[in-house]
Structure 1
Amino acid sequence: MVAILLSLVFVGQNAAAAQEPKYGGVLRWRAVNDPPKLDPAMATDTSSSRNVYLMFDMLVDNDPDGKSIVPRLAES
């Protein structure tokens, strides 16, 4: 019974991930406490960093393998 329920949960997650992304709208984010800083250059704590990553996109990012840099907003 548990295996059936778990398989239904995973199937539902895969179906949701396969949908086309919806752009625009409103992001509502509940935080336990207020972030002390929202300046990306000064955000060194976890609370601030999470909020900064939601508000700002980066020019480049690390490749998942950690061996190279990949563009995000940058074109080259």
Structure 2
Amino acid sequence: LWGLSLVALLAFATGLAHYDPKPFDARWLGFFFGLMLVPALGEELVFRALLVPPPGQPFPIWQAVLAVALFLLWHPFQALTFG
């Protein structure tokens, strides 16, 4: 929390950030679902539910390496395609 406070203080002090609230309306729900909820749930379903075995089952090293590699490769692709 102290790190976030320091970054916020520096961002506002240097002009990199400014307080400019927008009116709250139904579009914000669309932004929330489109930008926050759907990608987060999608990642959890793929990288935790499909690639990681259920508790109590063995987790072979090759499967762990594959899961981590796909997770790491996904994020640059996601940043370039979805923003």
TM-score interval (norm. to shorter):
under 0.3
TM-score by length of 2: 0.23
Greater strand fraction, Structure 1 or Structure 2: 1
Greater helix fraction, Structure 1 or Structure 2: 2
TM-score by length of 1: 0.24
